[in-house]
Amino acid sequence: MAAENLLRTEALTKTYAMGDIHVHALRGIDLEIRKGEFIAIMGASGSGKTTFMNLLGCLDKPTSGSYTLDGVDVHHMDDSAITQVRNRKIGYVFQSFYLLPRTTALENVELPLLYSQHVHARDRHQKSLHALETVGLADRAKHFPNQLSGGQQQRVAIARAIVNDPVFLLADEPTGNLDTRTSVEIMAFFQKLHAAGKTIILVTHEFDISQYASRIITFRDGRIISDVPNPTPHNAEQDLQKLPRLDPEEEE
């Protein structure tokens, strides 16, 4: 049984003007993503995968083409409506975490709720703590980002991404700044969230990381060159058992 459509792009293009030269970052992308999928978007740098991610995340606007998210045509929305979409429907996880400095883990997780008009102060606290529990960092709620390891920071960022219960998670090279073991740990979290029903779109250039997803889309020169299901995704939890604990003190 096919799950319902979550998002759909048609002939999506993006052209950057750099002086006289026009750089065609995306040359017409047609893509459909259904609810509950775990997708890895692969590609070398310059392939257009980051540009595509920016468009999917409503961080940028396409030059032409249409983008329908959750049944709504995002292309024709005004700024404040798109702001609402970003706040309510999308959870972002970035390569360099993007946590606010000198702000506690809990306050960082609360951030999307602060800008949401539908959440009361009491619920905000509750929801944020719950999100931190999900990523196993409830005991670090009062810590500042500079008191947390890279893996912990990324887990705080994931907590922030899921706190508003978005329709999909968008992760841009979430393991790019992490060592192998921590990367696999983060992937284990994504797989757990996926198992719980979340749609996840992951942008990466690492082959190993992409193998945890259930569908792999490859970009080259602004086009999709392959879009294949991965019927046997790796299990991050199991991989973790095989990896040696290099520095047991690190996460303490």
Give the nearer residue to other proteins in terms of CB position, either 83 or 226.
83
Between the CA of residue 171 and those of 22, 157, 198, what are the distances in Å? 28, 10, 13
Residue 216 Cβ, how far from other proteins at the closest point, in Å? 25
Residues in touch with other proteins (CB under 8 A): 54, 57, 59-60, 79-80, 83-84, 86-88, 92, 94, 98-103, 107, 111-112, 114-117, 160, 164
Taking phi first (over 0 means left), then psi (-120 to 50 degrees means alpha), and beta for anything else, what does residue 70 get? left
At 229 the three-state DSSP class reads strand
- Alpha carbons 181 and 184: distance in angstroms, whole number: 5
Strands of the chain (E only): list them. 5-18, 21-34, 38-42, 64-69, 72-73, 90-93, 168-172, 199-203, 215-220, 223-229
Residue 112 Cβ, how far from other proteins at the closest point, in Å? 4
Give the nearer residue to other proteins in terms of CB position, either 107 or 208.
107
Residue 180 Cβ, how far from other proteins at the closest point, in Å? 26
Residue 85 Cβ, how far from other proteins at the closest point, in Å? 9
Give the nearer residue to other proteins in terms of CB position, either 137 or 184.
137
Give the nearer residue to other proteins in terms of CB position, either 87 or 218.
87
